[in-house]
Structure 1
Amino acid sequence: MKNLRLLFLLTFIHLLGYSQSSKTVTIGILADKSSEETKPLLAKLQNEIKAVVGQSATIVFKEVLENGFNNELAKSNYQTLVNSNADIILVFGVVNTIMIDEVDEYSKPIILFGSANSDFYDFDEDQKTSTVNNINYLIAPFSYTDDLDVFKSLYNYKKVGIIIDDFLPGILPVKNLFNNYFSKNGGSYTLIPLQKDGSITSDLNDIDAVYLAGGFYLNDNEFKTLVTTINSKKLPSFSVYSKEDVEKGILASNQPETNIDQFFRRIALNVEAIIEGTNASTLPIYLNYKKKLSINYNTAKQIGFPLRYSMLAKADFIGGENDVKVGTSYSIIDIMKGVVAKNLSLDVERKNIELSSQDVKTAKSSYLPNITANGNGVYLDPKVAEISNGTNPEFSTSGNVTLEQVIYSEGAGANITINENLQKAQKETYNAAELDALLNASVAYFNALVLKTNVAIQNQNLQVTKKNLEIADQNFAAGESGKSDVLRFRSQLAQNTQSLINAENQKLQAFNTINQLMNNPIATEIDIDDAKISEGIFENYKYQDFLEILDDPKLRPALVKFLVEEGNKNAPELKNIGYNMEATQRNYRLNNLGRFVPVVALQGQYNLAISQSGKGTIVPEGFPNAPDGTYNVGVNLSLPIFQQNQRNINRQTAKIQEDQLLIQKENVELSIEKNVNDILLDMTNQIANIEISKVSEETAKESLDLTQNAYAQGAVPLIQLIDAQTNYLQAQLARATANYDYLLTSMQLERAIGYFFLMNTEANNQDFIQRANQYILNNN
């Protein structure tokens, strides 16, 4: 009884001590090392503790004591706090963890959150607390061996390089752990010491994968250098730490986003419990959260890591800071210029221009001389040769050169003019094809952008489904919902995964179209730059300024009229008709009065007797010798009188063709006017869609968040959450599509007026804008 009273008295005194000091509680902190990145975390932890403890105590934090990974200094720092006025000691870091583990008794309450993972804790499966007086371990589900299992399932490595802090093998049995693991699971490993400055001594040449088991204290630049080194070797990598490492360029991790809020809240609650008199030995030691595999798809592309569709359901795919473009990333200007330079269809049209140039050369060649050289060898009957008196020898060879030169021909001149106009018309046919190709390039670019955005949105939607499935699992475990909700979301997960696969394949098909337009090998890996209204190359595509004109009943008609006039002036189709009209009219004149103009030609011939032999070569006396060479020159005039009525028929045909061209010209002008009006109406609709889609997406997102919270609390049924998710997905797609549709319609307007701003100089564009402004002012 006396002992019982003594125990009660001691407990009362112990509790009284806390009660009397409740107004001021001093907390000491031990750390291995701090950095610029960890200082904000320390402030966050301190604020969390103060917030949780509230008015029950005034919290005072002592200066953080660091050991710099030195075990002796760690012991000294700990003893300093034990001997100080610190009421509670918070301990962080693997060196401090080892040091604390070697202490026999703890005279002050300690909360330990070390960096050593669960592989090195030998607790019974059912043990929930430390059971050691005055100490509370906080153990997160970090495990080297579990990570290596997941990494192996992701990539079947043969020899993995394990990057680990250089001081760690000296204080933890990591070699024994890895030796035991690889002896049971196959494969091999090598330890790669990580220096304090983030450098490694290994060249990484004899390994096929990297497991990052250290580097927690690296700053951003040091970590980036390490990641760059790993990825430059095209090695798959896996991090022991959080999803943030994946966002910074590591290939994968099986940890979720940093649960720092959860960690700090648990520490703060445990501090509060100790202040209220709870012994640290009775506080829970495990921090449980669901692991989640994350993969950086940009890093995967960079190192050539094969991504399988089967990974989509179990992994989160993210881009992150290491957004390395694989292959060439094209802007819309790159694609448009590439199409003009290399598109095969345009190459065909260019060849047509060359062919028309050949027709012009052929027509002009009618005025070039036609020179013909002939050679003859003759054997004559000797009897005849003998009586020819030397004029026709038995054997003779001779040659002649004939010249024919057209001096004037109405038909030849007309043919030249006609073919020159047809060549110009062919150039305008090419110009129209080029404008169409530029529009097709724009369509391909924006279609690819829509599909690329769709991939990102479908991926986000997949993550929302995964979150909803987690909520459904939690509700089912808590008895707040039935198994049917879980099954419904699993079905939704499969559907969303298929949607993401389809979206990815559609995006790749769009990239194939761009490669085809640019005459790239279809398998070429490319990417495309994003396009934003009023930014970058689309800085002048300010729809608000455009809307003011379109919305003004006084300004809009003037704008339409100006654009129609510009379209008529620039349209290669109208220029093509104009040149064809000139060719037709020239053909009409040729077959009308031109048929009465004679053809004047010059003709000449030179004959040369080369050799004579045999009988008949001797000229009798008294007969003159014939000259060896003779020539003749003449002028020829020809005038066709009647050519089977072909001239009249040709004249009538030319008149019909002229009428046809006039009808085509009127039709093209009407089409330009219609297209301009229709496109401007479309742009008005799309401007409204842009503004509406913004509000719609924001509202849908807020509705989804509220519905998720309500579903987690059992306040709304499953179908309402699915509807909210579907609405948000559609709102996201609508907003992205609205922006791209506006820019694409702008390109269609530019095609309608025959002027692409992105393919002209800034000076030309400003001149166009000034002319438009002046025209609108003059017509109002």
Structure 2
Amino acid sequence: MRIKIGLFLLWLTASLIFISGPVVAENIPKVAIAMTSDGPWDEQQPIYELFKSEIQDLLGDEFEARFVDQSGTGADWTVGGVKSMIDRLLTDPNVDIIVTIGILSSHDVMTRRDLPKPVIASMVLDKCFQKLPEKDGASGITNLSYIAFPTTMMADIRLFREVVSFQKMAFVVSEYMLEGIPSLKNLKKEDIGGLNSDLDIQVISVGNSVEDALNAIPEDMEAVYVTPLIHLSDAELNQFIQGLIDRKLPSFSMMGEAEVEMGMMYGLRPHNFLKKLARRTALNLQSILLGEDAGTIACAFSIGNSPVLNQATCQEIGVYPSWSILTEAKVIRPDRKEEARKLTLSQAIKEVVHANLDLKAKDKEVAAGEQNINDARSNLLPQIDLSATGVQINEEQAGFQPEKTGTASATLTQVIFSDGALANYSVQKYRQNVLEEERRQLFLDTVLDVAEAYLNVLKALAAENIQSDNLKSTRLNKELAEVRVAVGYAGPGETYRWQSNLATDRKNVIVASASRNQAEIALNRILSRPAEERFVMEEAGAVNLNQITCDERILSYVDNPYAFRVLRSFMAEVARELSPELKQLDAAIAAQKRFLGTTKRAFFLPTLSLQAEAKNQFYEDGIGSEPNPLVESVDTNWSVGLNASFSLFKGGAKFADRKKAAEELSQLRVQRESLVEKIEQNIRINMHGAGATYASIRQAQDAAEAAKKSLDLITDSYSRGVVSLVDLVDAQNTALVANLAAANAVYDFIIDLMRVERAVGSFSVLRTNEETNVFFDRLDAYFENAGASDSIKR
């Protein structure tokens, strides 16, 4: 108590000096801090420096922290060594506060009831199992502050059994910990919270021989719970982990993510839990220096446990976690991600050009259409027919004509003039233009489809990540509720409410994961890839428009209403030039005009053709085949003829054809006018949509940022018992909605912009740099002609 009063008076004196005048270094209260370790180990120095840094950062200029030399604050992994070290530090007048950074030294001080100076025990194995002193959420022991996580070994094992079912479990613990906490030697399920099951627990001691420890695990063990084995080197720990994998034993690491990354199958504690623990230790130390008794500082502390799963280990040992586990856990080294193909939006668009089956089918139709032109042209080119005839007549008829003859002939026909044939040739070429524009229309539609599919995958992936983060927040809030219950801020009902929310959020993550899978399948279908082929999207998480598709220069023209109105008019003008739908109608109109002209000329133009024929009788035999001396024999005959034909009257059909062709031409022209209006309407509507989504990007991001700040504040207030559960749930839901809106905002804008480009008939992502520069030069010229150059934000 004298130490506490003395330190408080030092702080008070320093405060008065600060008020009255400048503070000099000699007037800052000094505090000597001894940070202990149970024994030497690989991570001893980094963790020591972590705690030291957090303490120095927090105390700042209020106190001058002096740390006792490490040579006098380390033990030798033995109970005697730890006890001797603690005894020495407690009686050392040059030590003001002791911080134990080790399970053995923390357990030692927590079993003492008479502490002459403040002690902070930062490493608690299991608050319930160690039966630590507690009064009103604190230790209740003068000068003793300890930090305990709300989760227990019982809770760990229950979660472990959700991942893999087992009845026999090896509880692996350091032999030094067994010596320091003797009750661990005869651990039963009742000792760790009364697990109501037939679980058989066997304690396995780990000394300096990893091989001996592995051999000590019985063959019938079905799972392994591993407590901190910090006395092992990293190489020895890796050897132990590999031994468990070779034995096909599922493992749970009490240390959490760091060891799961090394090969342990499952864990809860995140990478940064030691940093959070160091910060909480520093906060407790600050409270003590400011006059609070260590025995009244709350013990419960939430570190934000989050399940971590090593999927590679699961595959090696033959464990297949359920959907609920996979969707909640952070998965380490999943399914050889490096082998999945990488896909960007531009790559997807280039790939669809060559792979999409609809485009391939349309290419075949266009190729077939080329032959319609050749067929029409063939009617204008020479036609040559060859024939051979063999004839045999009866003997009675033979005489003047040989009984057996063989004749060959060749006929040449050439159309000299046929308005109908010429018109058909022209019409087929126009129809081919229609087919080619239909193909371009399908291409543009397909590009839009693949872009939307790609961006929908990004949206689904973002939604899945946000739902996963929300699930982690709910788990953290559940831990905070457990802390609130422990210190008396709330009743057990709050924990049940968060358990309910946790189940709901798990469901939301599963639904989000399914939506992402569905979006990926849709994209693979457009790319003609196997439906569930994996790929990695390089733009995942990107918010820079250039990283996705858009040339950001276009944003200068949507920054204000006046410039945006001029841009809409420009886009409508470009669409009238590039729209494949308009070009199809233009080709159809040209074909119909040509046909109408033919129906008019049918009243006075004839059809002229030339025909030439050569015939040779190359074979004669039988009766009548002998030469007649009175008649000259001629074997080859030929003829040439010119034909002119004209249909004088067809019962009024010519008038009907002309009238019909004229009406159909008028119909096409009206359709074109209507299509121009629809295209312009489509462009302007989509551009207004794009303008709205672009303007909402900043708002959505601001809303998400504000919601996050609000959530952080309310979470902190909730942990201190200032606000209610309802306030935190409302803040969390608001943050979830805001984060989803912010994640979708950029992608929605890109989708709207690409719909505009589809309506125009040209995609920026397909242009070369030169073509892009030409586009913007033309755009600037349009603005200059409209007198709107000053409205552009450069």
Shift of 1:423: 0.2
Between the aligned partners of 1:715 and 1:145, the Cα distance in structure 2 is: 30
TM-score, structure 2 length as denominator? 0.73
Deviations 1:177-235 (A, max 9, x none): 55454445248999x99976799789979956888xxxxxxxxxxxxxxxxxxxxxxxx
Q: Which amino acid aligns with 2:590?
A: E
Change (3 A) 1:271 1:64: farther
> Which residue number in structure 2 is paired with residue 368 of structure 1?
381
Contact 2:276 2:303 in 1 (8 A): no
**2:182 alignment counterpart:** none
The one-letter code of the counterpart of 1:618 is: E
Question: What is the CA-CA distance between 1:506 and the residue it aligns to?
Answer: 1.5
Unmatched segments (≥5 aa) in structure 1: 1-10, 102-107, 212-235
Q: 2:269 aligns with which of 236, 255, 258?
A: 255
- TM alignment of 1:78-93, pairs within 5 A: 87=95
When residues 713 and 417 of structure 1 are mapped into structure 2, their CA distance, relative to the original with a 3 A threshold, is same
SS at match of 1:623: coil
Q: What's 2:591 paired with?
A: 583
User: How far is the alpha carbon of 1:39 from its aligned partner?
Assistant: 7.1
Instruction: Name the aligned partner's letter for residue 625 of structure 1.
Output: S
Show the counterpart of 1:429. 438
- 2:758 matched to 1:751? yes
1:612 is matched by which residue type in structure 2? E
Give the counterpart letter for 2:666 in structure 1. Answer: D
Distance 1:65 1:396, change over 3 A: farther
TM-score (norm 1): 0.75
Partner of 1:318: 330
2:675 to 668, 672, 686: 668
- CA 512–164 in structure 1, closer or farther in 2 if over 3 Å, else same: farther
Report whether the alignment pairs 1:774 with 2:781: yes
More off after superposition, 725-734 vs 674-683:
674-683
Once the two structures are superposed, residues 653-703 of structure 1 have per-residue CA deviations (whole angstroms, 9 ceiling, x without a partner) of: 221121111111111211222223223322332233222222322222233
**Aligned match for 2:614, one of 594, 606, 610:** 606
- Displacement of 1:636 in angstroms is 2.5
Where does residue 498 of structure 1 map in the other structure?
A: 507
Matches within 5 A, 1:205-220: 207=245
Give the alignment partner of residue 241 of structure 1, picking from 243, 251, 255. Answer: 255
Matched, 1:47 2:56: yes
Change (3 A) 1:510 1:136: closer
Mapped to 2, the partners of 1:110 and 1:176 lie a distance apart of 41
Partner of 1:381: 394
Alignment-derived partner of residue 687 in structure 1? 694
Return the match for 2:363 from 350, 362, 368: 350
Q: In 2, distance between residues paired with 1:61 and 1:520?
A: 63
- Please, which of 513, 527, 532 is the counterpart of residue 518 of structure 1? 527
Say which SS state the counterpart of residue 632 (structure 1) adopts.
strand
Distance 2:461 2:119 in 1: 48
**Which amino acid is the alignment partner of residue 347 of structure 1?**
K
Contact 1:370 1:405 in 2 (8 A): yes
1:146-200 CA distance string (max 9 Å, x none): 9899667535799x999999x999944765655454445248999x999767997
Paired with 1:714 and 1:195, the residues of 2 have a C-alpha distance of 42
Matched, 1:398 2:411: no
Supply the distance in 1 between the matched residues of 2:667 and 2:379 (Cα, whole angstroms).
30
The offset of 1:569, in angstroms, is: 0.8
Q: State the 1:764 CA deviation.
A: 0.6
Which residue is 2:15 aligned to?
none
Q: Does 1:561 align with 2:579?
A: no
Shift of 1:318: 3.3
User: 1:295 is matched with which residue?
Assistant: 308
User: Is the contact between residue 711 and residue 731 of structure 2 (CA under 8 Å) also seen in structure 1?
Assistant: yes
Relative distance call for 1:384 and 1:307 in structure 2 (3 A) is same
Secondary structure of the residue aligned to 1:411 is helix
Q: Is the 8 A contact 2:710 2:731 kept in 1?
A: yes
Q: How does 1:692-711 map to 2 (within 5 A)?
A: 692-711=699-718
Are the equivalent residues in 2 in contact too, given 1:329–1:527 (CA < 8 A)? yes
> Helix, strand or coil: the match of 1:401?
strand
The offset of 1:450, in angstroms, is 2.0
**How many residues get paired?**
720
Question: Does residue 630 in structure 1 map to residue 637 in structure 2?
Answer: yes
**Aligned to 1:547, which of 546, 558, 570?**
558
Q: In the alignment, residue 763 of structure 1 is paired with which amino acid?
A: E
CA gap 1:42/1:449 in 2 versus in 1, 3 angstroms: same
* Distance (whole Å) between structure 2 residues aligned to residue 488 and residue 462 of structure 1: 14
Question: 2: distance between equivalents of 1:113 and 1:156?
Answer: 35
Deviation at 1:35, TM superposition (A): 8.6
- Equivalent positions of 1:8-27 (< 5 A) are 25=32, 27=34
Q: Is the 8 A contact 1:441 1:517 kept in 2?
A: yes
Give the match for residue 4 of structure 1: none
Contact 1:414/1:590 (CA < 8 Å) preserved in 2? yes
SS state of the match for residue 329, structure 2?
strand
Secondary structure, aligned partner of 1:367: coil
Q: Distance in 2 between matches of 1:520 and 1:722?
A: 43
Following the alignment from structure 1 to structure 2, what is the Cα–Cα distance between the partners of residues 288 and 722? 20
SS of alignment partner, residue 592 of structure 1: helix
Kindly provide the amino acid, as one letter, of the partner of residue 598 in structure 1.
P
| Corresponding residue for residue 419 of structure 1 | 428
Contact 1:161 1:210 in 2 (8 A): no
User: 1:570: Cα distance to partner?
Assistant: 0.9
Tell me if 1:338 matches 2:351.
yes
The amino acid across from 2:543 in the alignment is: K
In the TM superposition, residue 258 of structure 1 has moved relative to its aligned partner by 1.1
Structure 2 gaps of 5+ residues are 11-28, 110-115, 178-204, 788-794
Q: 1:624 to 1:361 in 2, by over 3 A?
A: same
Is 1:571 the equivalent of 2:571? no
Aligned-partner Cα distance in 2 for 1:139–1:633: 114
1:185 to 200, 221, 224: 221
1:747 to partner: Cα distance:
1.0
Structure 1 contact 301–326 (Cα < 8 Å) conserved:
no
1:60 aligns with 2:60: no
